[in-house]
A and B are shown apart, each in its own frame.
Chain A
Amino acid sequence: MTTAPRTLYEKIWDAHVVERRDDGTCLVYIDRHLVHEVTSPQAFEALRVAGRPVRRPDLTLAVPDHNLPTTPRQDAQGNRIPIADAESANQLKTLAKNAPEFGVRYISEVDVEQGIVHVVGPEQGFSLPGATIVCGDSHTSCHGGLGALAFGIGTTEVEHVLATQTLILSQSKTFEVRVDGKLAPGVTPKDVVLHVIGVIGTAGGTGHVIEFCGSTFEDMSIEGRLTVCNMSIEGGARAGLVAPDDKTFAYVKGRPYAPKGADWDKAVAWWTSLKTDPGAKFDKSVHIDAADIQPTVTWGTSPEDVVPIGGVVPAPESFADASKQQAAQVSLDYMGLQPGTKMTDIEVQNVFIGSCTNSRIEDIRAAAEVLRGRKKADNVKWAIVVPGSGLVKQQAEAEGLDKIITEAGLEWREPGCSACLAMNPDKVPAGERCASTSNRNFTGRQGPGARTHLVSPAMAAAAAVTGKLTDVRTLVGEPA
C-alpha cells in the first residue's frame, strides 16, 4: 500500500483516530491528560452529578500549580503552612479530594515532584513523543517540544476526556515555521519564539498546528524546544511541535513514566518514523534566517508587540492597518510608554524568572550565569526566581545556583505558576514594570495595572542587575 507523503502532525493524528465521521470530525484518542486545580473542579463535579467514572485514571496525572504561594509550604517542624486566600485554599483542597475519589494519580504541593504541570509532564516521562496530550491550560502546546501533539482544552473538554479518553476534533491545517542557521551568542529559544510571533502575529496560527522545522530547532536542546512550543498558542496555534530525534529519546529515557524494556525498543522504532515525509505539503510556511534574530523584548500588551532590544518603542502610525494603530495606542497608554523611547532606557521595578515557558534547569542556569558576582540594582524592588518543579529546585541547589541568585539579591522560591498570572500572592503592583520570562504581556495579566515586558531568562537577569531593560550581550564577557 502506498500512502501520500504526510506531515509529522498528520502521522500522529492518523495514529489516534478512533472513528472518522461523515461530517468531517473525528473521535480522537487522548494518551495523556494533565489536570490542575483551576480548570478541573467543574469537570469532576459534572462526572459526579452524572455518576460517571474516569475511564483511564492511569493516563491522567493531577498536580496543583496555579494558586500555590511560592513561599515555604511547611514550617521547621514539617507542618503545612495554611494558605491565606480562602478561595485558593478551597480550589486546591477540591483537587486533593477529587483526584483520589476518581482514582487519578496526584502529586501534592509538598512532594518533590510537584511543579508547574507543563514542567512536570516531560520531567516525569509522562509526556512522550507521538502522544496526544491535553490539559485544561493553553500552554499545553509546550509538550510539543518532545514531538507530541499537545494542546489546551476547556473545562467541558476536560470532562469529556475524563469520561471517554477521547475528544471530538476537526483536523487542523498545517503550518511550517522553518528557522535555519546558528543563533548568535546571547540569543535564546525565547528570543526565537518571540521573533516568530512578531512575524506571524497572534492570530497567524489560528486553525493550524505549527511544526518548527530547520537546523535551528535541530540544534536546540529539548528544554529550548519546550520553550518554543510553549508559546505556539501566543501565535494562535493550538499546538506546535518539533520532530523527535536522538536528543529527544535521550531526554525521555529512564524517567519514571517513560517506557522500559521491550516497550522502549518498540517506542523508539515508532518515534524514529515520526518525521514529515519529503514532499509532504504544509498549508502555510514561513522561513526565517536565525541570523536575523536578536535578543527580543515586548513593548505592548500582545505577544506580537515585539522589538529587538536595540530598537525603540514604535509609533502607532507606523502600523499599516487602522485597527492595529488603535490597538497600539491603547497598549502604549496602558504601558505608559512614548514612541521613540529606546527599549534600553526603560526602567523596571520588578523581575520575574519562572513560568512554564522558562523555569527549567537550563533557564535557571542562564539567569545565574548573568547574576554570578553581580548585585540587583537598587530601583528593582522585587525580583524572584521560581523553579518550575521541586526537582528543578533540587538540581539548581545541588549546582549552587540558589546561592548565586540570593547573593545577587534575588529571592529563590518554591515551585508554581507564580507571577505569570495574578492568581496567587505573586503579583506586580499597578503602574510598575516587570521584566518577565513568562508568556503573556496581556493587560492585567501579572496584576491589575501591571506592565509586563516579556524577555528571556538571561535578559531578565540582566534587567535585574542594571534596573533597566538591557542587552545581555553588553554584560556577558565583561567582568562582573
Chain B
Amino acid sequence: MEPINHVHGRAIPFGRKNVDTDVVIPAHWLKTITREGLGKGAFEAVRKEPGNVFEDPEYAGAPILIAGDNFGCGSSREHAAWALLDMGVNCVLAPSFSDIFSGNAFKNGILAVVLPQEAIDRLMEVAKTDPIDVDLETQSVTTPFQDRFTFEVDPFRKHCLLNGLDEVGLTLAQADAIGSYEQRADSDLPFLAHPGRQAA
C-alpha cells in the first residue's frame, strides 16, 4: 500500500445519500480476477443521468468525492474501492460510511473522512469552483476561503495510512500470539478448532 498523507485538488460534489456499492460498481464488473481497470465501470448508472457530476468536465480527474450519509452501504465488494482508485479518487468525504466500505477504503489507502453534514454542505458549495485540501497528519480539511474542519481517525489506521503498512505482514509478525491462541482453543473450544472431528 502506498503511504498517503495529503490530498489536494478538486472535489466531485455528488452529495447523494445511501450510495450503495452496487451504484459505485455494478455486479457485471465484478467478474475480473485483478484489481485494475474498474474505473470505467464506476457509477455506470449515474453517468447516464442528464447533468450528472461524473460526466462534467469541470471535475475530470478530481481526487476527492463528496457524498451523503451512509456512503458504501450494501455489498462488501472491495471492487468499489478499487474502482474509485482507478478513476483517480483517493479521498471520500461524507457524514457517515458503511462499516465494510470504511474498512475496504482504509486497506486500499483511500481516506474515508467523516465530517458533520454542515461541513459537507459547505464543501459541496466550495467544490463547485475551488479545490479542497485534506491533511491526515493534522486531521483537517481546509478550503481557500479559510474554512477548516477537523475529523477523527482511528490511531492504528492513521499510522498504517501514513506509513503505507501492509497489515498482513504486520499480523504475520505476531504468529506466536496466534499460535498460543490456537493451543488454548484446542483444549477450550475443540469443536471450533476441528470441523467434523470424531472426538473420542
Contact = CB atoms under 8 A, between A and B. Distances in A.
Q: Real complex partners, A and B?
A: yes
Interface of A: 15, 18-19, 21, 23-25, 27, 29, 31-32, 38-39, 41-42, 45-46, 50, 52, 55, 58-59, 66-67, 85, 87-88, 90-91, 94, 125-126, 128, 130-131, 136-138, 140, 152-157, 159-160, 163-166, 168, 170, 172, 202-203, 206-207, 233-234, 236, 238, 256-264, 266-267, 270, 302, 323-324, 327, 421-423, 440, 442-445, 448
A203 B96 contact: yes
A302 to B, nearest CB: 6
Nearest to B107: A156
Given A154-B81, A156-B78, A258-B196, A164 B172 contact: yes
A94 B33 CA distance: 8
B196 A45 contact: no
A206 to B, nearest CB: 6
10 contacts: A41-B32, A41-B34, A136-B76, A154-B77, A154-B81, A156-B104, A206-B70, A262-B199, A267-B191, A422-B28
B126 interface: no
Contacts of B195: 32, 58-59, 125-126, 257
Interface stretch (B3-11, B57-65, B137-145, B177-185): B177-185
A257 B171 CA distance: 28
The 5 tightest CB contacts between A and B, nearest first, are A259-B191, A87-B31, A154-B78, A41-B33, A152-B76
Nearest to B28: A422
A260 B178 contact: no
A23 B156 contact: yes
A168 B156 contact: yes
B22 A202 contact: no
Contacts of A263: 190-191, 194, 197, 199
Given A154-B100, A166-B178, A236-B98, A125 B196 contact: yes
A39 B77 contact: yes
B73 A236 contact: yes
B26 A23 contact: no
A203 B177 contact: no
Nearest to A169: B103
Interface string B124-154: 0000000000000000000000000000001
A272 to B, nearest CB: 13
A423 B174 contact: no
B100 A91 contact: no
For chain B, the bracket of interface size reads 35 or more
B191 A164 contact: no
A21 B167 CA distance: 14
Contact of B177 (A19, A87, A90, A153): A19
B78 A155 contact: yes
A266 B191 contact: yes
Given A423-B31, A442-B23, 19 more contacts: A24-B155, A27-B178, A29-B185, A39-B76, A39-B77, A41-B34, A52-B172, A138-B75, A152-B76, A163-B172, A166-B171, A203-B69, A207-B99, A257-B196, A258-B196, A260-B196, A264-B191, A266-B190, A421-B75
Contacts of B53: none
B72 to A, nearest CB: 10
Given A59-B195, A267-B191, A443-B22, A168 B167 contact: yes
Given A125-B196, A168-B156, A442-B74, A206 B18 contact: no
A323 B17 contact: yes
B33 A42 contact: yes
A153 B76 contact: yes
A52 B75 contact: no
Contacts of A153: 76, 100, 103
B191 A324 contact: no
Interface string B95-134: 0101110011001100000000000000000000000000
B22 A445 contact: yes
Contacts of A261: 198-200
B22 A90 contact: no
A164 B65 CA distance: 33
A266 B70 CA distance: 42
Contacts of B198: 260-261
B47 interface: no
Contacts of A264: 191, 199
A128 B191 contact: yes
Nearest to B117: A323
A117 B103 CA distance: 22
B76 A324 contact: no
A19 B74 contact: no
A15 B17 contact: no
Nearest to B68: A323
Contact of B74 (A23, A138, A258): A138
